[in-house]
Amino acid sequence: MNFYENTLKNMNKAAKIMKLDQETLDTLSYPQKTLMVNLQVRMDSGEMKYFEAYRVQHSELRGPFKGGIRYLPNVDLDEIKALATEMTFKCAVAGIPYGGGKGGVCCNAKEMSKGELERLTRKYVQAVYQVIGPNHDIPAPDMYTTPQIMAWFMDEYSRLVNQYSPGVVTGKPIEVGGSLGRGTATAQGGAYVLEEYMKRHDMKAEGTTVIVQGFGNAGSFAAEILHSMGFTVVGVSDSKGGLYNEKGMDPFCIVKSKKEKGSVTNCDEGKAVGPMEILEKPCDILVLAAMENQVTEANMKNIKAKIILELANGPTIAEADEYLSKQGVVIIPDILANSGGVTVSYFEWLQNQQAYYWPLEEVEVKLKRAIIEALVRILDLQNEHKCTLREAAYISAFDRLDKALKLRGSGAHLRCKVYNK
């Protein structure tokens, strides 16, 4: 189950349906540049530790490279390449003027102190600052990278280039150039898409049950937002396990309990179940907000949901995607469903460029308009090509990328496989 191969499979399927120019497909099947570095960080114990780190710049055809950085113990190059590729397609689906990129550091953020995380982050910036920038490559948060980490990132970069540069990174705290609404944007965007999709298919939130896998930034806000919209949240989970109650639970209580006790499983709103078992429990809508490769050949036959909303990147592998689609399960794909995050990142960057900050209502109205426009375009393409939403989403992105490539010329996607500073 290679995440990068999975992404290429998704691209190939869509390319075939739309009869995409082979040259465009080939061009976008490789990242432009890959940076691999080793970060040397002094730990609190006095010991020196080494961390492998990456930045993959997939495509800048439609604008600067854009995409988060994840801090995870087993990050590898293929994973970052897949995520960088997905970012190119996500930004094109969302219609925002960015390409795609992604970064990662192999580390266990959960076990590191604040000081260690700060030193690691500053080291990462020192390693990449010559190849990023507000008009070239703009990182952001991803798994286990917080607004605080983005603040250190911006601070270190500004110091190195001797210029206050809030636009070099998004997902910052409000006090240092962040945007209102960025924290909840991934979940909020997904909720807007789901609501619009359901409206068009005569479905209502009331009486509709939801399970949310993952309780980080995307999952916890998704549970709260969907509950507030009238959905019945019957299940949630985090890395330690799941919590289920067929009668419904209050996600606000679960958030509070997780803060106090460390996991959703310790909350008395429901009964504890296994972390993977939660995916197979009865529900109408399954929100995948944990990580890649969650719905696979091993569990696809046990999924009961009729709609899957992918707030994580790459949570459904190609075989499961095909099987479930044939069974009539509607999968709202990651590159659309979670594009609210990068869309508000774009708004944050715009505000930074203008040094003029918008009220929350403006962010929300613009996000809703943008993501619904992206959905409508995909629904039209789905109708035209009689394909799945994922295929239509890739077609939507390919169409924009292909046009950009043809207009700019073949030199636009410069490939330089690996470079080490």
**Residue with nearest beta carbon to ligand GLU:** 68
258 is an active site residue: no
Min separation Cβ 363 and ligand GLU, Å: 14
Tokens of 127: 């390693």
Binding segment toward ligand GLU, per CB under 6 A, in 56-64, 242-250, 285-293, 335-343: 335-343
Spatial separation of the C-alpha atoms in residues 62 and 133, rounded to whole Å: 16
In angstroms, the CA 55 to CA 87 distance is 13
**If binding means CB under 6 A, how many residues of this protein chain bind ligand GLU?**
11
Q: Looking at 102, 123, 172, 281, which residue is catalytic?
A: 102
Binding mask 303-322 for ligand GLU (x = CB under 6 A): ----------x---------
DSSP letter, residue 139:
-
Candidates 68, 178, 181, 235; binder of ligand GLU (CB under 6 A) is 68
Which residue of 10, 34, 165, 170 would you call a contact of ligand GLU, by CB under 6 A?
Answer: 170
- With CB under 6 A as the contact rule, the residue among 338, 351, 352, 382 that binds ligand GLU is 338
What strands lie across the sheet with 209-213, from one edge to the other? 271-273, 241-244, 232-238, 209-213, 285-288, 307-310, 330-332
Contact between 368 and ligand GLU per CB under 6 A: no
Of the ranges 65-73, 240-248, 250-258, 388-396, which one interacts with ligand GLU (CB under 6 A)? 65-73
What does the per-residue mask of binding to ligand GLU show for 101-140, with x meaning CB under 6 A? ---------------------------------------x
The reply on whether position 351 binds ligand GLU by CB under 6 A is: no
172 binds ligand GLU (CB under 6 A): no
Of 67 and 235, nearer to ligand GLU (C-beta) is 67
Pick one of 31, 63, 64, 67: the residue that binds ligand GLU (CB under 6 A): 67
Pairing of strands 48-59, 100-106: antiparallel
In the chain, count of helices (H) and strands (E)?
13, 14
User: Is 142 a residue that touches ligand GLU (CB under 6 A)?
Assistant: yes
The token duo for 52 is 């492998």
Q: Judged by CB under 6 A, which of 13, 55, 58, 66 binds ligand GLU?
A: 66
- Two tokens, residue 401: 């990328």
Window contacting ligand GLU (CB under 6 A); options: 17-25, 63-71, 155-163, 353-361: 63-71
Tally the C-alpha atoms within 13 A of residue 405's C-alpha that lie toward its C-beta: 22
* CA distances for 404 relative to 45, 266, 397, 414, angstroms: 51, 51, 11, 14
Q: Does 342 bind ligand GLU (CB under 6 A)?
A: yes
d(CA 2, CA 382) in angstroms, rounded, equals: 27
As a whole number of angstroms, the distance between CA 132 and CA 373 comes to: 30
**Does 370 engage in binding with ligand GLU (CB under 6 A)?**
no
Q: Which residues contact 223 (CB under 8 A, 6 or more apart)?
A: 210, 212, 215, 233, 236, 251, 254, 255, 287
Tell me the backbone φ, ψ of residue 41, rounded to 5 degrees: -130, 135
Please tell me whether residue 60 binds ligand GLU under the rule CB under 6 A: no
Catalytically annotated residues: 102
What does the binding site for ligand GLU look like in residue numbers (CB under 6 A)? Answer: 66-68, 140, 142, 170, 313, 338, 341-342, 345
